[in-house]
Amino acid sequence: MTKYKLVCFDLDGTLIENVKFSWQIFHDYFQTDAHRREDARNKFFNGRISYAEWAMHDMSLWKEKNAKKEEFFKAISHLKLMDGAMETLNELKRKGLRLAIISGSINILLEKVIPNYEDIFDDIFLSRIYFDNEGNISQMKVTEYDVEKKAEALKLIAQRENISLKECVFVGDYLNDIKVMEEAGLGIAFNCQEEKLKEVADVVIEKKDLREVLRHILD
């Protein structure tokens, strides 16, 4: 038996190699209003609106532009799954570990890089866009579990599954992963350029191959 029972991954920059902020890709592609975005961003960081309100504000800007499903996928056609990601996920699964995504990213990106993601992850926390048959946005659901609240998502899964936080692993790359990494028994900073995250991580992996996490989790 391994020491760990649950492994949670961030998406942007961790499972997906070449993206730091997925939302920015769509803002650029659909050319949304920078001033309105800046205003909502400031409101969030000043504590005047919640993360979910901020996310819904920004997502609504795409709907206003009548953004189509095929355009969303065109905007992210250059995105690549991290090297070694599938081998890593399959191996952890084979060993009986529970897998989760805790991310502020969007379901479209996950679908693009791991089409069979429903078969692999037991829990998925991210924001979602759904389309109707004509490819128009039919529904938008935003996650509230980003930034500090990623830690709450980790606790939700752990409590429900009767897993102690010591038995949880979090793998992430950016500042929004700091809090959740502090809570998890094993924090792995991966593909990380942020000194603050490296400081709270138990392990820092410089090589851009996700298989590098396996020996830290399974040994």
Residues ≥6 apart with Cβ < 8 Å to 140: 56, 59, 60, 63, 127, 128, 129, 130
Number of residues that bind Mg ion (CB under 5 A): 5
Of 13-72, which residues contact Mg ion (CB under 5 A)? 13
**Does 170 help bind Mg ion (rule: CB under 5 A)?**
no
Angle between helical axes of 34-45 and 51-64 (0-180°, round to 10): 170
Interface region with Mg ion, contact rule CB under 5 A, candidates 128-136, 169-177, 181-189, 192-200: 169-177
> Min. distance of Cβ 180 from Mg ion in angstroms?
11
Q: Pick the closer one to Mg ion by CB: 44 or 174.
A: 174
Looking up tokens 């929004």, which residue turns up?
Answer: 176
Interface region with Mg ion, contact rule CB under 5 A, candidates 7-15, 86-94, 181-189, 198-206: 7-15
- Kind and range of the H or E element at 172? strand 168-172
Interface region with Mg ion, contact rule CB under 5 A, candidates 44-52, 140-148, 165-173, 210-218: 165-173
Backbone region of residue 76 per phi and psi (left: phi > 0; alpha: psi in -120 to 50; beta: other values)? alpha
The residue number whose beta carbon is nearest to Mg ion equals 13
Residue type, 165: L
Angle between helical axes of 22-30 and 51-64 (0-180°, round to 10): 30
- Kind and range of the H or E element at 28? helix 22-30
Q: Pick the closer one to Mg ion by CB: 19 or 61.
A: 19
Position among 174, 190, 191, 201 found at the interface with Mg ion (CB under 5 A): 174
Q: Per-residue b/e over 169-198, b at no fewer than 16 CB within 10 Å?
A: bbbbbbebbbbbbebbbbbbbbbbebeebe
Interface region with Mg ion, contact rule CB under 5 A, candidates 5-13, 143-151, 180-188, 205-213: 5-13
**Does 12 help bind Mg ion (rule: CB under 5 A)?**
yes
Of 92-151, which residues contact Mg ion (CB under 5 A)? none
Applying CB under 5 A, which residues contact Mg ion? 10, 12-13, 173-174
